[in-house]
Amino acid sequence: MTTDGRPPVTGAAAPSSGPGTRGHRAQSHVVGVALLLGITVVSMGALTAAIGAVVDSSSTQADAERVVTDLDASLEPVAATGPQRGQVTFGEGTLRPVDRELEVRANGQPVDRLAVDALVFDGGDRRVAYHAGAIVRGTGEGAWMAEPPPITVDEEVLVVGVARLGDDVGTVSGSGGVTATVETDVSHDRRALGDAEFAVAVETTAPGAWERAFRDLGATVEREDGDPGTVVATFEGERTGYLVVHDLNAEVSGGG
């Protein structure tokens, strides 16, 4: 007891736990939940976008692979003769001809120049081209050959096989599942070129694929500028040359 009869003060007063403190804690809890929900929504949105991108990429990849298989089965310039009929199916895209030329040179001089053209499928970021008898996937330096060109070479003979599409090919495009009918009437013309050092020059937007294919055949490769550019493959040394033109007379139409 103090001299005035009051109890002594022995420590600081305990913190208040009244209604104001409980309200602050409740508000903090609500803010935390809101932040957590916001982060979850953002994460789910990013995940959904990523899944959508993967699905789209897988779909266009499957389209391109299916088109390669269908073109290879529908257009057989070496094995087929006479009327043929095939189908090319894809989910979404366009199948159309584009102008392309191929030139055969003997001792550096042109001996034949052909408007071979190419049948091109464009679907999203995927591209497939049936070109002069080869099938090319992609464009630019990243392109590759799904089927090589019909050219054979040894130490004595060079046979340049060339598939020529024709003058009235047609275009088919659509989405939601498309079936294009490809009709051909194939004939062949074999031409003797004599003895010389031969080169083959191909217009293309996929130079990397053609360069690798020509190197695999033992050719020396260079590029010439143009729109599109040209890949030139020189088969060094004198050989007996032949040019075999496979006229497809192709027609492409929709509706299966």
Residue 175 pLDDT greater than 50, yes or no: yes
12 or 199, which is more confident: 199
Q: Would you place residue 29 in the very low, low, confident or very high pLDDT band (cuts 50, 70, 90)?
A: low
Q: Which of the residue ranges 14-28, 51-65, 83-97, 222-236 would you say has the lowest mean pLDDT?
A: 14-28
Mean pLDDT, rounded, for 16-35: 54
pLDDT at position 14 is 45
19-24 mean pLDDT: 55
Q: What is the pLDDT of residue 54?
A: 40
Mean pLDDT score, 86-91: 96
Q: Between 93 and 27, where is the model more confident? A: 93
Residue 51 in this model has a pLDDT that exceeds 50: no
Distances from the Cα of 225 to the Cα of 126, 139, 140, 209, 234, angstroms: 25, 16, 14, 17, 17
C-alpha to C-alpha distance for 97 and 175, rounded to whole angstroms: 19
Q: What is the pTM of this model?
A: 0.77
Q: In this structure, what token pair is assigned to residue 29? A: 């809890």
- The amino acid occupying position 147 is E
- Furthest C-alpha separation in the chain: 135
Q: Which two tokens stand for residue 206?
A: 């996929």
Q: pLDDT category, 141, cuts 50, 70, 90?
A: confident
**pLDDT value for 177:** 92
Determine the average pLDDT of the residues in 17-22: 54
Q: How far apart are CA 125 and CA 89, in angstroms?
A: 17
pLDDT, tens digit, 9 for 90 and up, residues 95-123: 999 999 999 999 999 999 999 999 999 99
